Amino acid sequence: MFSALHYQAWRRARAAYYAFGLSRLPFGDLLGRAVSEWEIAQGFGDSPKEKARWDAEYGDGRWSHLQKELANYWLLIGFMDAYRRGGEYLDVGCGDGVLFERFKRLGYQRYVGIDISDVAISKLQLHNDQRTSFTQANADIHEPVGRFDAIVFNESLYYLRDPIGSLGRYAQTLKSDGCIILSTYTTSRRSMAVLRDAKREMSVVDEAKTTRGNTSWLCTVLAP
């Protein structure tokens, strides 16, 4: 009984936090962290997860459906090419390379991908060469080397523990005219709140929506 009430109270607090943008209040950061910890404890699909869980999910093919998100990927690639053709790219939470496998034919000066999952990244390491590097790393704490024309978070920013703090940290590694490209799954409260907060921190250069069946994604180009 008590645990059911406790669960309902947290569910409501979470809904209010996202619906009313409570992160802007004086104790918003604290509240955000508490909501986040509760989401993690509940195992919500759009909240941070341990490395072991990502490894298990890639191991049993849970993410193979990403291959079908054609419009989302091609829009993202279109933005990567249109805004920073042939430049230096950082792909944060690159998974097992659905984006890279499609993008690589357009050419690039440097492509760096990081992902928390060894299982995912191991499929990409055959591509490692002087211009290309795929490494296992936790994006919550990773310090990228060098500067980038574009930093891509394809359905990955909202899996970080402090998405907006991390966004700011990665943005510091952009070249002077560089951009961040986010792709956001629109059905998730957490992902849409992260996108809203990201838009408060940076300027929106471009944005478009793609849909497949009942599911949509927003692809957003941001500049510092």
Ligand X SMILES: C[S@@+](CC[C@H](N)C(=O)[O-])C[C@H]1O[C@@H](n2cnc3c(N)ncnc32)[C@H](O)[C@@H]1O
Q: Residue 155 interacts with ligand X (CB under 6 A)?
A: yes
User: 23 or 117, CB closer to ligand X?
Assistant: 117
User: 87 or 93, CB closer to ligand X?
Assistant: 93
213 secondary structure, DSSP code: T
Footprint (CB under 6 A) of ligand X, residues 65-84: 66
CA distance 197 to 163: 9
**Binding window for ligand X (CB under 6 A); candidates: 115-123, 172-180, 193-201, 211-219:** 115-123
Exactly one of 75, 90, 112, 139 binds ligand X (CB under 6 A); that residue is 139
CB of 107: closest distance to ligand X in angstroms? 19
Per-residue buried b or exposed e for 110-131, using 16+ beta carbons within 10 Å of the residue's own CB: bbbbbbbbebbbeebeebeeee
Count H helices and E strands in the chain, helices first: 8, 7
- Mention every residue, 6+ apart, whose C-beta is less than 8 A from residue 90: 112, 113, 114, 144, 148, 150, 151, 152, 170, 173
Exactly one of 159, 180, 190, 191 binds ligand X (CB under 6 A); that residue is 159
Give the CA count within 13 Å in the CB-facing half-sphere of 96: 18
Taking a C-beta distance cutoff of 8 angstroms, is the pair 139, 161 a contact? no
Q: Residue 163 interacts with ligand X (CB under 6 A)?
A: no
CB of 62: closest distance to ligand X in angstroms? 10
Q: Residue 17 interacts with ligand X (CB under 6 A)?
A: no
Exactly one of 17, 54, 79, 170 binds ligand X (CB under 6 A); that residue is 54
CA distance 28 to 51: 27
Taking a C-beta distance cutoff of 8 angstroms, is the pair 108, 139 a contact? no
**Binding window for ligand X (CB under 6 A); candidates: 15-23, 104-112, 152-160, 168-176:** 152-160
Q: What is the binding site for ligand X (CB under 6 A)?
A: 54, 63, 66, 93-95, 98-99, 114-117, 120, 138-140, 154-156, 159-160
